[in-house]
Chain A
């Protein structure tokens, strides 16, 4: 550090205390109000859920290696895919980017000391833990077999598994989302540093603003729906079960009214991360800033109006179906706008191929396929054939894994030096990014073909003619699994053996790169005043590029 300081005098002296070493007791973690520590606790828990969901996914692929249900009985298989869906969606995908990266970086990016409501932030973590613990308890007791969609009347009348315990767990967990969203909105409105106007906000923050709207408006609906399921199961009040006067389609309307916007809860933060990565690693202002910002809001708003496209064959009216199909096509446009703007950002940039950028470029390819196949499923006549087949499975994995998970990994790699102060191995980072990309495509692309063939989803056994493509898929899953496990190893390794990252290893202009790594508890030594636009890379925005080049030269 001393030598570096000699070269670059403004390479600020590291303060002795940062958020990580400011208190070592368990209590100092569990009762912290520091958004960064809360984010790290989320990171640990979310990763554990991701691992569990991943093991379940591997079990699914192993079972589907052969047409017969030989690894599991079909009852076990039904529980495995249900639990895979529940853990991945409610306990991994939804909290992943917002609760970890959003929590950690939104206050820093807007130049605030913390979120507006730090205690609420801690409570939302505890709510997440309680909901998760309840679900895990239910899984240990025997699990649940309704599918993550909990369709009635199967879930209310016919399933003899732990439906209610899991339902209550998800109900509780929902409040974690609601409070996090609320916290973000209040923070973005009230805590911006002087000079940080709305149109100087990084797009990551815009994306989280849109997500927060969806979380606050959508999550209560799924909570109410699960409550109604509980009332029907316990009190036998006819709400969804037709044998006691209810309507099963009503459940689907309520469920998808939340769960379709929830898809945007899962993908919008990923889009925010990608906007950051593409712009920063091209060292160029993002193309069409306002269009990307407002397309996030447009997706959040229109996303509430398309839930019926999950129900084209459920018995809803033909004309309702047409309205939903039309709106589904409309909501595709803002996603296309983002795609074009990201591509245009690369034009005449200075594109580097660091690990996070590899993830971002991978995202462009996978999200392209995920988005286009969404059009297949929005076209009614075609989706009659495709819905409830592996085509749907492939489509949403392209969006959820190819989109959100890839963006999440890209974001973790991008901000890891800031969060921990350590740099991981670029070599292994690149290898793993490429393995994930190849393994992912090999896993899920064959499923599009399987789906058009007519292989229904949620099948423990299947006709023999589908086996070859299933073997491809399982082979791909093993590559994907290795690609996903590798970061766990080299990121841990970097914590102990990694090189010091420095405050701004990429020389990026965001506020998070203008504080020390890891940041101090209050985020900034001196509270910042923003005088530059978003994504301004020149020296005039205060970046010491010359100094960084000299340090770079010293390393070599």
Chain B
């Protein structure tokens, strides 16, 4: 799995865009050589050929050359623009997650990585993913900055408190790869890492079924929404509700008081839970209390996953213990293709179940 040569020169190449990064790297090495050789040779040749032959000689004066100056300004500029373009294209690939990616939530904490799968599995410092699937990580942190770095996939991103950052990748090769924290985060920074396991789909399915899984994020989110936090009492979707309707809100444009429009992405949902008065939807009063300090980062992820799963037409009030308004259709249609497998296990509404229990039998 890992490179075993004496002096490892090249890290494993295990994602769809890893080769692009490597090509860019080789291109820059070639450019470096192409610039270095003439300069180094010229310095050596001049220094030897024109070495001092007579003490304090006065060689003939030479003035600059406009032609030369122009040439050696334009050539580096043109070359640097090709580097810029190459870099921008690869960067665009690295940071434009595809829509059909499998979603995984990551929470950084001094000094561990906590991972929630859409199917309910939770892991710490390990990430199991199937080969050949596009995977998108939605990441945040409970404390300081961290950085999720997988050298074999040639990608990383800082994990920032108070907001979401994303990376995506499509593993191409089964194996076990390093996972590092690359942004200095205090005492045990160098211990904040682990392994990414890329598995064949079959092995991955076995891994999924062999693990005791807790609530899926959508289930946990529904539980929080309807029972634990009581969001449903205002947001259940009736026409007279005090809270904004949430069905189908994800990825749409929301009109705010004051006339601005904002896209309802993960960041918006998160912000509206923690800091509700900062963005008031048109037609509603600023009466929602903040939930800051009452929900953990992982619960927030679940709430976001749940709200994303609400499609138009479906009601939010699905739980038996929900304050039923006119909730008829007790059914949600999760947006993602991977989530449904666990939706009907009926565990969701179990009163008193602590959504915080890690339930990770994976280790």
* Interfacial residues, chain A to chain B (CB-CB below 8 A): 69, 74-75, 78, 145, 147, 149, 151, 153-154, 157-159, 241-243, 247-249, 282-285, 287-291, 312-315, 318, 321-322, 325-326, 329-330, 332-333, 336-337, 339-341, 343-344, 346-353, 361, 364-365, 368-369, 372-373, 375-376, 378-385, 387-389, 449, 452-454, 456-463, 465-466, 468-469, 507, 536-539, 545, 548-549, 552
Contact = CB atoms under 8 A, between A and B. Distances in A.
A340 B65 CA distance: 12
Interface stretch (B159-167, B248-256, B319-327): B159-167
A159 to B, nearest CB: 7
A368 B69 contact: no
A219 B194 CA distance: 40
Nearest to A241: B161
A186 B327 CA distance: 77
B156 A545 contact: no
B220 interface: no
18 contacts: A74-B188, A242-B162, A242-B163, A312-B91, A325-B84, A329-B84, A333-B77, A337-B76, A346-B47, A351-B50, A364-B39, A365-B43, A375-B32, A379-B90, A382-B24, A382-B28, A454-B152, A465-B2
Given A154-B185, A283-B58, 14 more contacts: A157-B143, A282-B50, A313-B158, A318-B92, A325-B91, A333-B77, A340-B72, A341-B69, A343-B42, A364-B43, A365-B40, A375-B28, A380-B90, A388-B149
A281 B69 CA distance: 22
A349 B28 contact: no
B343 interface: no
Given A322-B88, A380-B87, A548 B43 contact: no
Contacts of B46: 343, 346-347, 349, 351
A151 B145 contact: yes
A387 B91 CA distance: 13
B86 A330 contact: no
A380, A388, A459 — most chain B CB neighbours (10 Å): A380
Nearest to B188: A74
A381 B21 contact: yes
A147 B93 contact: no
Contacts of B31: 372, 375
Contacts of A339: 39
Contact of A346 (B11, B43, B163): B43
B53 A378 contact: no
Contacts of B90: 379-382, 384
B95 interface: yes
B201 interface: no
Interface string B154-181: 1111101111010000000000001011
B62 A347 contact: yes
B187 A78 contact: yes
Given A449-B9, A456-B182, A465-B8, A333 B73 contact: yes
A290 to B, nearest CB: 7
Nearest to A385: B154
B162 A248 contact: yes
A348 B39 CA distance: 16
Q: How large is the interface on B (under 10, 10 to 19, 20 to 34, 35 or more residues)?
A: 35 or more
A388 B145 contact: no
B189 A74 contact: yes
Nearest to B80: A329
Interface in B184-228: 184-191
B55 interface: yes
Given A336-B72, A344-B68, A379-B83, A313 B7 contact: no
Nearest to A290: B64
Contacts of A364: 39, 43
Contact of B59 (A283, A314, A458): A283
B83 A248 contact: no
A548 B161 contact: no
B189 A459 contact: yes
Interface of B: 2-4, 6-11, 20-21, 24-25, 28, 31-32, 35-36, 39-40, 42-43, 46-47, 50-65, 68-69, 72-73, 76-77, 80-81, 83-84, 86-95, 110, 143-145, 147, 149, 151-152, 154-158, 160-163, 165, 178, 180-191, 292
Contacts of B61: 284-285, 536
Contacts of B157: 313, 315, 384
Contacts of A351: 46-47, 50-52
B110 A158 contact: yes
B50 A350 contact: yes
A381 B36 contact: no
B156 A453 contact: no
Contact of B64 (A291, A352, A383): A291
A248 B72 contact: no
B93 to A, nearest CB: 7
Given A154-B184, A291-B69, A368-B40, A458 B190 contact: yes
A346 B55 CA distance: 16
A350 B53 contact: yes
B88 A381 contact: yes
Contacts of A381: 20-21, 24, 86-94
Contacts of A365: 40, 43
B230 to A, nearest CB: 23
B341 to A, nearest CB: 33
Nearest to B181: A456
Contacts of B144: 151, 153-154, 157-158
Nearest to B74: A333
Given A158-B110, A329-B80, A333-B76, A74 B59 contact: no
Given A78-B186, A283-B56, A372-B32, A158 B158 contact: no
Given A315-B163, A368-B36, A388-B149, A458 B189 contact: yes
A283 B69 CA distance: 21
B167 to A, nearest CB: 9
Nearest to B148: A313
A293 B202 CA distance: 65
Contacts of B6: 468
Contacts of A462: 190
A373 B36 CA distance: 12
A314 B68 CA distance: 40
